[in-house]
Amino acid sequence: MSQPARAAAGRAETRILNFIGGEFVAAKSGKTFENRSPVDGALIGRVAEAGEPEVDAAVQAARAALAGPWGQLDIARRSEMLYAVADEINRRFDDFLQAEVADTGKPASLASHLDIPRGAANFKIFADVVKNVPSEAFQMATPDGRGALNYAIRVPKGVIGVICPWNLPLLLMTWKVGPALACGNAVVVKPSEETPSTATLLGEVMNKVGVPKGVYNVVHGFGPDSAGEFLTRHRGVDAITFTGETRTGTAIMKAAAEGVRAVSFELGGKNAAVVFADCDFDAAIEGVGRAVFANCGQVCLGTERVYVERPIFERFVQALKAKAEGFKLGRPEDKDTTMGPLISEEHRRKVLSYYGKAVEDGAQVVTGGGVPDMPGELANGAWVQPTIWTGLPETSAVIREEIFGPCCHIAPFDAEDEAIRLANDTPYGLATTIWTTNLARAHRVAAKIDVGITWVNSWFLRDLRTPFGGSKESGIGREGGVHSLEFYTELRNVCIKL
Ligand code: NAD
Ligand code: 6OD
């Protein structure tokens, strides 16, 4: 590997650097922070923390790229370049996999099926979308009888600030960078402080395939009074796309108000599954099991509230319990590992506080509820037991607040309207899953649950052309397919008097 590659991969002896104007750079201040493995607490590397000078340099580099060759590239050439990025990610699949798994501790089997392939696919889908979007045109009559022709053109928004979370680092970052670049923008990415590696590694890919310097930049650091805030406050940033907690979204929206800059937000959720007695029982257990426990419960679309029609309630609780108890916690690289740790000790404290609250609020702990005994060095990792509760009042914080861990509460219901009311009784509105073999009911209930994404008899089945986003406090705007173009381009009307 070249020197930048070792810096970017960031394991063992290495440093993880900022990527600005096509160069891997440390911080002028010399400040760094630790990147530790959630599996066993081992030091993975040290990350160069960007200060205001680095964030400013990244924004300037992005602006310069827009004024340079990148701004001149036609859509066909830009699309080819994004295909090349995807191909290079796939060629370096193992490097990306190793980096993602080291940062997150998630099972390699999961990252190799989900995170890395989607990281590559996110470039191809939007390269295709921009080539195929029609424009709109209107002819109009005028008093002189000659008329006028209106047509719309799309231009890039400019420099996009991309602020990312840690749960699906490459997938969620490229979900924004792919369309941003496809539309001709330049980006400054601020990965989560917990997961700096794959965004940095992508810098090498950009250089390798000849994406002009400054089109893709990465600055590392934290949120408040650090790189996140410096980036969102920077007036050279034209628009901000953010995935993360609703509370952070509120802070970013305040920063974006200066200069009246556009935001696209994918935020938290407290998603419900609604399971009817007429469901395919095994499919429902399999699907709800994935929705609750995949990625150790750290998926924004995941289910933390399960409502089950009373005739199958007891059977469902017992079957999901068996599913939870079947997970094999272990090192990510072990082939039989099916669940990793939480992202950090800090996040574990948060999740365990809800495990405690559940008991205080009178829950029956069906399974789990604590910290598993892990052997050897794994005892230093951020492990928790997959957990199921029943018997909580709907007013409990465990039912109302996003936990973001491998846990759910299961409650019975007796009528369709009751299930809809329970599912909607939350300030969030991201996703839901409905389990039934009654097609009419599926359509009826789907239309009444106030969320951005409804799955019927499935979960996290993604067609990247579809609108993705949240209602209520779960987000602002939709991304995916042509919907991403609404955010990443400015639509201009040209009126020609004939
Ligand atoms: P977070 O909000 O704590 O952090 C996300 C990013 O924002 C990080 O890079 C962080 O450094 C940065 N940040 C924090 N404060 C900031 C500030 N004041 N200004 C600028 N940047 C700031 O979220 P997280 O803990 O990384 O991720 C988990 C959360 O993300 C959960 O709530 C989850 O539901 C949500 N999420 C939502 C979606 C979705 O599509 N709706 C997807 C994934 C995760
Ligand atoms: O699949 C996607 O495009 C997407 N944004 C998934 C988000 C998952 C949240 O954790």
pLDDT at residue 7 is higher than 90: no
Check the CA dihedral 351-352-354-358 and report its sign. positive
Mutate to test the pocket of ligand 2, among 116, 301, 474 (most ligand atoms within 8 A of CB): 301
CA of 85 to the centre of ligand 1 (A): 26
Residue 11's pLDDT band (cuts 50, 70, 90): very low
Average pLDDT for 481-498: 97
What pLDDT sits at residue 9? 40
Ligand 2 atom nearest 480 alpha carbon: 3
Q: Let me know if 236 is exposed, middle or buried by CB neighbors in 10 A (0-12, 13-18, 19+).
A: middle
Residue 228's pLDDT band (cuts 50, 70, 90): very high
Mutate to test the pocket of ligand 1, among 33, 225, 300, 484 (most ligand atoms within 8 A of CB): 300
Protein residue closest via CA to atom 6 of ligand 2:
172
What pLDDT sits at residue 4? 45
CA of 172 to the centre of ligand 2 (A): 6
CA of 477 to the centre of ligand 1 (A): 16
Ligand 2 within 6 A of 172 CB? yes
Q: Let me know if 264 is exposed, middle or buried by CB neighbors in 10 A (0-12, 13-18, 19+).
A: buried
Protein residue closest via CA to atom 5 of ligand 2:
172
pLDDT at residue 5 is higher than 90: no
Mutate to test the pocket of ligand 2, among 122, 175, 304 (most ligand atoms within 8 A of CB): 175
What pLDDT sits at residue 217? 99
Average pLDDT for 459-481: 98
pLDDT at residue 3 is higher than 80: no
Measured between alpha carbons, how far is residue 165 from residues 245, 267, 268, 346 in Å? Answer: 9, 10, 11, 15
Of 164, 279, 300, 407, which residue is the catalytic one? 300
CATH architecture of 271-463: 3-Layer(aba) Sandwich (3.40)
Give the model confidence (pLDDT) of 121-153 as tens digits.
999 999 999 999 999 999 999 999 999 999 999
**Which regions of the chain carry the CATH code 3.40.605.10?**
3-267+474-497
Q: Which of 467, 468, 496, 464 is nearest to 153 (CA)?
A: 496
Active site annotation includes 300: yes
- Predicted structure pTM score: 0.96
Residue 25's pLDDT band (cuts 50, 70, 90): very high
Average pLDDT for 238-257: 98
Per the prediction, the chain carries an average pLDDT of 96
Residue 259's pLDDT band (cuts 50, 70, 90): very high
Ligand 2 within 6 A of 324 CB? no
Asked if 109 contacts 101 with a C-beta cutoff of 8 angstroms, the reply is: no
- CATH value of 3-267+474-497 in 3.40.50.150, 2.40.160.20, 3.40.605.10, 3.30.70.270: 3.40.605.10
pLDDT at residue 286 is higher than 90: yes
Percent of the chain with pLDDT over 90: 97
Residue 166's pLDDT band (cuts 50, 70, 90): very high
pLDDT at residue 212 is higher than 50: yes
pLDDT at residue 244 is higher than 90: yes
CA of 478 to the centre of ligand 1 (A): 17
Active site annotation includes 54: no
Asked if 367 contacts 388 with a C-beta cutoff of 8 angstroms, the reply is: yes
What pLDDT sits at residue 8? 43
Among the ranges given (4-8, 240-244, 434-438), the one the predictor scored with the smallest mean pLDDT: 4-8
Average pLDDT for 21-48: 97
Of 266, 309, 402, 473, which residue is the catalytic one? 266
**Which regions of the chain carry the CATH code 3.40.309.10?**
271-463
Give the model confidence (pLDDT) of 310-347 as tens digits.
999 999 999 999 999 999 999 999 999 999 999 999 99
